[in-house]
Amino acid sequence: MSALPANRARSAILAGRCPLSAILFASLGLAATVWLILNTGLRGIENTIAIAGFSILWVVPLHILPIMLDSQGWRVLLHDGEQKPSSGFLFWVAGIREAINGLLPVFRVGGEFTGARLATRAGISKANAIASVLVEVTLTLVNQIFFTLAGIFLLVTVSSGHSFYGQILPALSLAAGAIVIFVLIQRGGFFSFCHRWIEQLGWGNRFVRAVGDPEALDQAIHRLYQRRTLLLRAGLWQMAGLLAGVLEIWLALFLLGSRVGWGGALVLESLSQALRSASFFVPSGIGVQEGGFVVFGSLLGIRPDITLSLSLVRRLREVLFGLPFLVSWQWIERRKWGRMDSLAPPDLP
């Protein structure tokens, strides 16, 4: 999906220059996190984490479940008569996608670009790979709205602080409207339109190298949206993955000494995910996740030292779980696919 040559695109994300805006927002987020930790008390956070000890590391392998479920949702969308990649391969790609979006300053979209490109390495046509990712992202946004609404409903039932309605519900309404527009654009021959416009600027060949045949891509997207049962199956897999993430929050809180029920864990997971999605311009959602956990945790009656400890545990899991995927991705790209790219004929001008 990138316009970079294939043998250079593999390292563009890791070796690319970090935007100044990303550095600025990351610095502000880090400052907010440090302030929260110091204001809460470092000693209290240390004592809370000490309660769990090394058992807190169980949240790392537990994350296999949501990634596996999410990758199965993507696999459902990879149809059209082509041989689907194995579940193991898609699990690996899904792990890479999440690691890129969560650990690198790519505004939470670089993982999708990489995932589509890796799918083509497994024999999926470029049109079907990109179409599946675009539709999958749309389904993810829809599921995120329902997931967030469930969290709001549960929070209302246990909290007397209802003033957040005025901020969250209008934002969700805007997000729903944006998704509808996004779907209409996808179904309206967007890539063919872009190709005609870009071709007038003399960049038509570059656009084709990036996305493949624009008409084939538009047709692949249209076919996916016509298959309602397929979309429903993929969406259910995704929702199952979101609910599996709640289990991770519940276990971490339990090990940290907080006996919050499943509903409370769902509130923290759903609303913190919504905040991180809305603040995509902040690398890794640093500061946003921490502040969200503290605010929503306080409405649930959870002490700030526990919610900040939970956020630090989540950060630790992201690194321990995601780093092996990033390393394996770069190793495979350089050793295996790098040789394939060097033997491939050059792109036509």
The 3-class SS string of 4-18 reads CCHHHHCCHHHHCCC
Amino acid present at 283: P
Provide the terminal-to-terminal Cα distance of the chain, rounded to the nearest Å: 18
Q: What sign results for the dihedral spanned by CA atoms 151, 156, 161, 165?
A: positive
The C-alpha atoms of residue 46 and residue 309 are separated, in whole angstroms, by 8
The C-alpha atoms of residue 154 and residue 323 are separated, in whole angstroms, by 34
Q: Is the pLDDT of residue 320 over 90?
A: yes
The pLDDT of 181-185, averaged and rounded, is: 78
The C-alpha atoms of residue 272 and residue 264 are separated, in whole angstroms, by 12
* pLDDT tens column, 274-303: 888 877 778 778 888 888 899 889 888 899
Q: Is the pLDDT of residue 247 over 90?
A: yes
The C-alpha atoms of residue 108 and residue 279 are separated, in whole angstroms, by 10
Structure tokens given for 187: 């179904």
Which helix (H) or strand (E) segment holds residue 226: the answer is helix 214-226
Structure tokens given for 223: 């076919």
Q: Is the pLDDT of residue 31 over 60?
A: yes
The C-alpha atoms of residue 145 and residue 204 are separated, in whole angstroms, by 37
Q: What sign results for the dihedral spanned by CA atoms 76, 82, 86, 92?
A: negative
Contact of 95 with 86, CB cutoff 8 Å: no
Indicate the burial class of 339 (C-beta count within 10 angstroms; 0-12, 13-18, 19 or more): exposed
Alpha helices in 80-213 (DSSP H): 87-103, 110-121, 126-158, 165-187, 190-200, 204-211
**Res. 204 pLDDT band, cuts 50 70 90:** low
User: Greater confidence, 201 or 71?
Assistant: 71
The pLDDT of 177-203, averaged and rounded, is: 74
> What's the pLDDT score for residue 310?
94
Q: DSSP label at 302?
A: -
The C-alpha atoms of residue 46 and residue 42 are separated, in whole angstroms, by 6
Q: Is the pLDDT of residue 118 over 50?
A: yes
pTM for this entry: 0.81
* pLDDT tens column, 55-114: 999 999 999 999 999 999 999 998 655 667 888 999 999 999 999 988 887 666 678 888
* Residue whose entry in the numeric block shows the structure tokens 């209008």: 170
Average pLDDT, the chain: 81
